Amino acid sequence: MTATAESTATASPRRRSVVLRRYAGWIFALPALLFYGIFEFRPILSALSYSFYQWDGVAPTKKWVGLANYGAVFTQPQQLASLIHAFVFIFFFTVLPVSFGLVVASIMRTVKPGPYGTVTRTLLFLPQIIPGAAAGVAWNWMYSRDGFVNTVLQWVGLGSLAQPWLGSFSLALPAVGFVGTWLATGLCSVLLMAGVGSIDPGLYEAASLDGAGAWWRFRAVTLPGLRQQIGVCVTITIIAALSSFDVVYLMTQGGPGYTTLVPGVEVYNLAFNENQIGAACALAVVLALIVMLIVVPLQLFFRKGDS
Amino acid sequence: MSDSWSSKLPRYALLGAVALYSIIPVLSMLSAALLPQNVIPTGLNFTLHPQWHNFVDAWSLANMSTLLKSSVLLVVGVVPAALLISTLAAYAIVILRIPLGGIFYAVLVLTLVLPFEIVVIPLYFQDQAMGLLNTRWGLILPLIGLNMPFAVFWMRSYFLNMPAELYEAATVDGGSAWAIFWKVHLPLARPAVASLGLLMFLSTWNQFLLPLVLMANPNNWTLAGALQTFQNKYGTNEVLLNAGAIELMAPTILVYLILQRHFVKAMMQGAVKG
């Protein structure tokens, strides 16, 4: 269609003016092309190119090292650990919030619209609004020696479990991960609630008439009806889990040791504290590839069936 | 649904617990922020004599006026420009059907999910080479560019739902592409632009990594970025730290409570489209 329009363009002056107009339209897209090209596309290419060099960011020449930086991503313990932690975070950022969200959405379905539901939804959504950095500070305080978590443990008689959570080599990672759960639960709940709202209520009645209990109504009606919304929640939260930075940087900077190190923080450390630009870029490229390799099939899986 | 209290209560209680869990960290901070400054706070504190002046002290300690100005300048520099540029591009791709527009769009979408981590290091050296490092422009310009994939994506899906005859009719009436954009399409797209603007405001205001890397002077950081300096400097004074952190969160929370409905709607649309 386009090709025909262009090949016959010379034939009639009117046609030519149409084609000219279409090219002139680029004037509208040019600013976007420039900003995107200079500040996103070019940096992506630079990151790719840096990743094949050893460079301290200052020296006038870079040393070509081929794939050595990529080898280090998978052999150097800190970098490898950061990638593993990113996958552990998927449990906290994705699995838990989506499960909680499903529970909340199922309950909300049975609650009459009114102030109670509205207030609950407003509060649930709040963590999504505050800066990730602020969430980090808030939870630093929650986990501190005299903080909320330890106070509650003492109230309920489990004072022996009270400890400085973020200083623990074994518990700091789940503690930080749980902040991700806190951040994502509201978004997932509200998204899933909207999804449940659009399921035909007749389906629930029919299931009840067939003698389905609450669990079977959930499995047979709610879950399939929410396929698309679950897909959205999973996609967004996996991206957030893999590319987390703000919360971890503010809470632990990756410590103690490197037990809470994530790729984002390690990229920052490598580049701006250890002056290993090539290594940092290689890790960033690997991270970007992992995100793409996970998100693209997920989109295909969850979008399949609807058009 | 049965409406007896015995069946309602557990469900309502569970929802209440979930809501409480969402705001406990903020409540815990508030309760600590109102204590006298020489007190070592614990998880949740109830004081009969709230020390409101803690907020005044924290405000000046954290240099809040300067930071507020930096955050506002960043949003003002980024959001309107990014809105205009992305809307124009989506208009060109969908309505004017520019040649190769589809390829441009495909590239944009391909980079939509990439984490900031991959661009932040090259942006540092690029800013350095352009002499923009540690300047406001060195932060504003990249953020406009980084907003493009999502913004064009968002506006494109909106323009796709506009009838094509609209443009043809306006062309027959003798309008230039530019005039038609301003007089026909932009006014019609106002709700989509407004939602997009809200999302951009939030992501720009909460921006943390980019200011951290591209600005040496913490005074130029966003409020979110400044939390870190504040934490390092006053981390030992839990009362003031919490007061300051609450002040740093307050603007977004206020905007959220006022525009709550729009926020939730915009973020959900954004999520579903993304």
| Segment A110-165, tens digit of pLDDT | 887 788 888 888 888 889 888 888 888 889 889 988 889 998 898 898 888 888 89
Could you tell me which chain A residue has the CA closest to the CA of B241? A137
The whole-angstrom distance between B31's CA and the closest CA on chain A is: 11
Identify the three-state secondary structure at position B108.
Answer: helix
CB of A46 within 8 Å of any CB in chain B? yes
Could you tell me which chain A residue has the CA closest to the CA of B202? A129
Give me Rg for the CA atoms of chain B.
23
Residue A20 — pLDDT band, cuts 50, 70, 90?
Answer: confident
Identify the three-state secondary structure at position B106.
Answer: helix
Identify the three-state secondary structure at position A63.
Answer: strand
Please, what is the angle between helix B101-110 and helix A26-36, to 10°? 30
Residues in chain A: 307
Residue B206 — pLDDT band, cuts 50, 70, 90?
Answer: confident
B residues 194..253 contacting A (CB < 8 A): 202, 205-206, 208-209, 212-213, 222-225, 227-228, 231, 238, 241-242, 245, 248-249, 252-253
In chain B, the percentage of residues whose pLDDT exceeds 70 is: 95
Q: Which domain holds residue B233?
A: 63-273
CB of A111 within 8 Å of any CB in chain B? yes
Flag whether A72 is in a domain.
Answer: no
CATH of the domain at B218: 1.10.3720.10
Flag whether A296 is in a domain.
Answer: yes
Q: Cα-flanking dihedrals φ and ψ of residue A62, to 5°?
A: -110, 145
Considering the domain architecture, whether residues B237 and B147 belong to the same structural domain is answered as yes
CB of A88 within 8 Å of any CB in chain B? no
Considering the domain architecture, whether residues B42 and B80 belong to the same structural domain is answered as no
Mean pLDDT over B161-187 rounds to: 82
B residues 28..47 contacting A (CB < 8 A): 28-29, 32, 40-44
Q: Give tens-digit pLDDT for B60-117.
A: 887 888 888 988 999 999 999 999 999 999 999 998 899 999 999 999 988 988 999 9
The whole-angstrom distance between A170's CA and the closest CA on chain B is: 23
Q: Which residue carries 């390092």 as its tokens?
A: B232
Asked whether the predicted pLDDT for residue B235 surpasses 80, the reply is no
Flag whether B58 is in a domain.
Answer: no
CA distance B192 to B266: 9
Flag whether B56 is in a domain.
Answer: no
The whole-angstrom distance between A35's CA and the closest CA on chain B is: 4
Considering the domain architecture, whether residues B122 and B222 belong to the same structural domain is answered as yes
Contact between chains at B22 and A124 (C-beta distance less than 8 A): yes
CB of A113 within 8 Å of any CB in chain B? no
CA distance A290 to A79: 14
Considering the domain architecture, whether residues A12 and A142 belong to the same structural domain is answered as no
Mean pLDDT over B11-23 rounds to: 87
**pTM for this model (two decimals):** 0.89
Q: Give tens-digit pLDDT for A170-227.
A: 999 999 999 999 999 988 998 898 888 888 888 988 998 888 888 888 888 999 889 8
Considering the domain architecture, whether residues B233 and B269 belong to the same structural domain is answered as yes
Flag whether A59 is in a domain.
Answer: no
Which of B39, B113, B221 to mutate to test binding with chain A, by most A CBs within 10 Å of its CB? B113
Flag whether A58 is in a domain.
Answer: no
Q: Give tens-digit pLDDT for A224-246.
A: 889 888 998 999 999 999 999 99
Contact between chains at A130 and B252 (C-beta distance less than 8 A): yes
What's the domain count of chain B? Answer: 2
CA distance B178 to B185: 10
User: Does residue A81 contact residue A224 with C-beta atoms inside 8 Å?
Assistant: no
Residue B148 — pLDDT band, cuts 50, 70, 90?
Answer: very high
Asked whether the predicted pLDDT for residue A6 surpasses 60, the reply is no
Contact between chains at A291 and B107 (C-beta distance less than 8 A): no
Considering the domain architecture, whether residues B169 and B35 belong to the same structural domain is answered as no
Considering the domain architecture, whether residues A35 and A111 belong to the same structural domain is answered as no
In this structure, the number of other CB atoms found within 10 A of the CB of residue A49 comes to 13
Considering the domain architecture, whether residues A297 and A260 belong to the same structural domain is answered as yes
ipTM beyond cut 0.85: yes
pLDDT at residue A8, as a whole number: 44
Considering the domain architecture, whether residues A192 and A281 belong to the same structural domain is answered as yes
Flag whether B239 is in a domain.
Answer: yes
What's the domain count of chain A? Answer: 2
Considering the domain architecture, whether residues B157 and B24 belong to the same structural domain is answered as no
Number of helices (H) and strands (E), helices first, in chain B? Answer: 14, 0
CA B229-A248-A58 angle, 5° bins: 65
Q: How far is CA B239 from CA A78, A288, A293, B35, B245, in A?
A: 35, 40, 45, 7, 10
CB of A284 within 8 Å of any CB in chain B? yes
Identify the three-state secondary structure at position B237.
Answer: coil
Q: Pick from A302, A291, A265, A293: which is nearest to A82 by CA?
A: A265
Considering the domain architecture, whether residues A11 and A123 belong to the same structural domain is answered as no
User: Does residue A174 contact residue A92 with C-beta atoms inside 8 Å?
Assistant: yes
Q: Give tens-digit pLDDT for A47-78.
A: 999 999 999 999 999 999 999 999 999 999 99
Residue B138 — pLDDT band, cuts 50, 70, 90?
Answer: very high
Considering the domain architecture, whether residues B111 and B193 belong to the same structural domain is answered as yes
Considering the domain architecture, whether residues B125 and B163 belong to the same structural domain is answered as yes
pLDDT at residue A229, as a whole number: 87
Of A274-283, B129-138, B182-191, B262-271, the least confident: B262-271
Preceding omega of A256 cis (within 30 degrees of 0): yes
Flag whether A71 is in a domain.
Answer: no
Of A253-257, B62-66, B149-153, the least confident: B62-66
Flag whether A101 is in a domain.
Answer: yes
pLDDT at residue B214, as a whole number: 92
Considering the domain architecture, whether residues A280 and A189 belong to the same structural domain is answered as yes
Contact between chains at B113 and A46 (C-beta distance less than 8 A): no
Considering the domain architecture, whether residues B37 and B148 belong to the same structural domain is answered as no
CA distance B228 to B215: 14
Considering the domain architecture, whether residues B204 and B256 belong to the same structural domain is answered as yes
Considering the domain architecture, whether residues A139 and A204 belong to the same structural domain is answered as yes
pLDDT at residue B272, as a whole number: 65
Considering the domain architecture, whether residues B80 and B156 belong to the same structural domain is answered as yes
Contact between chains at A268 and B209 (C-beta distance less than 8 A): yes
The contacts of residue B15 (CB under 8 Å, 6+ apart) are A104, A107, A108, A111, A116, A117, A120
CB of A263 within 8 Å of any CB in chain B? yes
Considering the domain architecture, whether residues A8 and A134 belong to the same structural domain is answered as no
Q: Which domain holds residue A240?
A: 77-303
CATH of the domain at A277: 1.10.3720.10
Q: How far is CA A206 from CA A18, A216, A223, in A?
A: 56, 12, 16
Considering the domain architecture, whether residues A15 and A101 belong to the same structural domain is answered as no
Considering the domain architecture, whether residues B22 and B122 belong to the same structural domain is answered as no
Chain A, chain B: beta-carbon pairs less than 8 Å apart:
305
User: Does residue B87 contact residue B235 with C-beta atoms inside 8 Å?
Assistant: no
Flag whether A56 is in a domain.
Answer: no
Considering the domain architecture, whether residues A171 and A277 belong to the same structural domain is answered as yes
Considering the domain architecture, whether residues A164 and A43 belong to the same structural domain is answered as no
Flag whether B121 is in a domain.
Answer: yes
Contact between chains at B238 and A22 (C-beta distance less than 8 A): no
Flag whether B262 is in a domain.
Answer: yes
CA distance A190 to A229: 10
pLDDT at residue B224, as a whole number: 72
